[in-house]
Structure 1
Amino acid sequence: MASMPTVTDVALAAGVSRQTVSNVMNSPGIVRADTRERVEAAIAQLGYRPHASARRLRTRRSSTIGIRLDPMIDGISGSVLDRFLHALTEQADKQGLRVLLFTATSPEDEIIQLQRLNDGADVDGFVLTSTFAGDPRTKWLIENKIAFVTFGRPWGADDVSNPQHLWVDVDGWAGLYEATRAVQNAGARRIGYIGWPSSADTGDDRRRGWHDAMHERGDVTEAGLIALEAVTVDGVAEGTAAMQDLRRRAGPLDAVLCASDSLALGAMIANPERVPVTGYDNTPVAAAIGLSSVDQSVGEVAAAVLDLLTGEFGGQVHGAPESLQPRYQMIRPRLVTRAFAAIPMEMLV
């Protein structure tokens, strides 16, 4: 009996990547029309059934994916995970899968919830978010041979060539590098950066994008870059205070980049010189106030997560088939540029 065509077969026939095929099936709006038509023609020619990619997950126990509902960090940047959950749920439904949400107060409590749901046969696999170096959740799942994929890399020394588990992440370095290049190409030289403490792996990744772009251009010395950086925890008020501190220490600025839209909104408030500000996450707030921001393409992230969880790897590190396909997907974000308008502080008093 001939084997059923796979996503890889479709990708080869259409001359595209597996991720592009997944995007056509789950988020067709983000794929160019000519590419989408080529993939759809290959699907029709091969007789590929999109639902067949979820067969391994569906035939286990429940056709259900478990994911923790993270606590709301704030009303701005926290919306990114909400958008990811919506995209994941919608795309899972197209594959005949359900998403079960649960809560946990800590990584250790989440492990208890993972064990409870797995022992009760409530889910077939998990999607984890908010990963960090030394994450005990992924260690427990791997040791217990439970299917899972993370939105967020392992943050180890060798994530790409020897991943500890199946993961999808957004290239924060590329996002801030592109954002820095964009304002440099517009004539900016003294570009400030407001970011998080170095204990945040995601924040470190974004900061490197700004730093590398600034270092390559050479408009500011390495010592001068120190004065152009402000570090704070996330939040609008914190962004305002960091912008005030940055203006005092750094002097005249041509532009400011921020690790989140929350910090960027705060920076816009303390900005009488109307210095262009760019955020990160492309939240609805950014769109509403005309803030340029880096978009994480959560629809692509959700498609890639499901591809790893339901495709040939089946979300497994142990017992997965040998394959030349990578066990990770790094999604490149895109810069959304908008006409800048500062928010006068006196309007908020």
Structure 2
Amino acid sequence: MPSVESPRLPTVVDVAKEAGVSRQTVSNVLNTPDIVAPATRSRVEQAIASLAYRPHASARRLRTRKSSTIGVRLDPVANGISGAVLDRFLHALTERADEHGLRVLLFTAKDPLDEVAQFRRLLDGADVDSFVLTSTSYDDPRTDWLLRAEADFVSFGRPWGSDVADPARRWVDVDGHQGVAEATRALLDGGARRVVFLGWPSASGIGTERRQGWRDTMLAHGVLAPAELDEVDLTVDDQVSLASDRIGELAAHLAETGRTIDAVVCASDSLALGAFMVLGRSVPVVGYDDTPVAAALGLSSVHQPVEEVAHATLDLLLHQGPAARVASPGSAADPRHRLLAPRLVLR
């Protein structure tokens, strides 16, 4: 049976013949339309529409050094609980980018320095036009390198340890202090007195902010003396089993003096699950991230508006705004920084 050949797609040459202009004029209309006379530009645009011509993406990238692509590192996931937040963010970012004719390119890297090497490779090959950073940290080498390279980027997370109002460092973040403070207040209003905080041991902007939300709220209510507060300020790596062990140790220690854990607020749903496995439903436990695991178990948790984060990230990439320093980072009038409010989900 003879094969059926696909119809030939129109080329720049076909458009040029149809419009009665040179190939260069067609290229100018496609890439730098402002330099073409209006009447000529209109004639070329009519020819493009008549022939249903579509520029070849790869050829356009080589000509213009623009790929309409955003690069995002796919973070390694230590466990499937906390990784759900990044999954939601990537889905929302990809959907939002598609609405603007943009693509998201995911890549992997072993560590921040390896990620910088990937930045260089992707920029040199014109594979991406901009980057979205996740998992920001103190003394983050990625942002400094991108600034020196004059690359376009926005961070999901504040530039911890740097000037958060710096107009060159555009970021979108969720107010972790507010989220944990709201959770702590809800537990205190429910009659709890000894509210334990279960957080991470390493110095991180995210972890420190969430811990401070608990501590500030506890101090404001004056329910525990500073020494008692330190006693129930727990640190552990973000693993369910380690969280269970740590809560079990504290419960046994308090029981020696006739005291109990009234409630627990955690820096993540992974830690909340660990606490829940020891305490059950006899003690209120609040997590952070409102993952499907928390919802399935009926655990209260702080919900991050990840879809709003993705929308704000794309807005900052597409509309850079004035470069002047702003006095109130994160405010509605701030063109460079967005600090979004989380929401406590009680179950």
What TM bracket, shorter-length normalisation? 0.7 to 0.9
Q: Identity of aligned pairs, percent?
A: 55
- Shift of residue 273, structure 1, vs aligned partner: 7.2
Output the TM-score relative to the length of structure 2. 0.76
The 3 A distance-change label for structure 1 pair 328 and 273 is closer
The 3 A distance-change label for structure 1 pair 299 and 244 is same
The 3 A distance-change label for structure 1 pair 144 and 246 is same
Of the three residues 316, 337, 340, the one matched with 1:331 is 340
Letter in 1 for 2:243: G
Of the three residues 262, 266, 272, the one matched with 1:264 is 272
| Secondary structure of 2:183's aligned partner | helix
Letter in 1 for 2:149: N
Give the aligned partner of residue 289 of structure 1: 297
Give the aligned partner of residue 110 of structure 1: 115
Unaligned stretches of 5+ residues in structure 2: 1-60, 327-332
Give the aligned partner of residue 304 of structure 1: 312
Question: How many aligned positions are there?
Answer: 274
Give the aligned partner of residue 189 of structure 2: 185
After superposition, what is the alpha-carbon deviation per residue over 1:92-137, rounded to whole angstroms, capped at 9, x for unaligned?
1111111000000011110111111111011110001011111111
Give the aligned partner of residue 254 of structure 1: 262
| Secondary structure of 1:193's aligned partner | strand
- Rounded to whole Å, the distance in 2 between the matches of 1:199 and 1:333 is 22
The 3 A distance-change label for structure 1 pair 337 and 86 is same
The 3 A distance-change label for structure 1 pair 272 and 68 is closer
- Shift of residue 60, structure 1, vs aligned partner: 6.3
Deviates more, 1:325-334 or 1:126-135: 325-334
Which entry has the higher C-alpha Rg, 1 or 2? Answer: 2
| Secondary structure of 1:165's aligned partner | coil
The 3 A distance-change label for structure 1 pair 287 and 141 is same
Give the aligned partner of residue 282 of structure 2: 274
Unaligned stretches of 5+ residues in structure 1: 1-57, 314-319, 339-349
Contact 2:167 2:325 in 1 (8 A): no
- Rounded to whole Å, the distance in 2 between the matches of 1:308 and 1:76 is 29
Relative contact order (alpha carbons < 8 A, sep ≥ 6): 1 or 2 greater? 1
| Secondary structure of 1:335's aligned partner | strand
Contact 1:281 1:296 in 2 (8 A): yes
- Rounded to whole Å, the distance in 2 between the matches of 1:204 and 1:321 is 29
- Are residue 77 (structure 1) and residue 82 (structure 2) matched? yes
- Rounded to whole Å, the distance in 2 between the matches of 1:291 and 1:163 is 39
Contact 1:258 1:264 in 2 (8 A): yes
After superposition, what is the alpha-carbon deviation per residue over 1:137-178, rounded to whole angstroms, capped at 9, x for unaligned?
11000001000001010112542x335500111111011000
Letter in 2 for 1:85: L
Output the TM-score relative to the length of structure 1. 0.75
Give the aligned partner of residue 42 of structure 1: none
Contact 1:77 1:261 in 2 (8 A): yes
Give the aligned partner of residue 168 of structure 1: 172
* Aligned-pair Cα RMSD in Å: 1.7
Moved over 3 A (4+): 161-164, 320-325
- Shift of residue 308, structure 1, vs aligned partner: 0.7
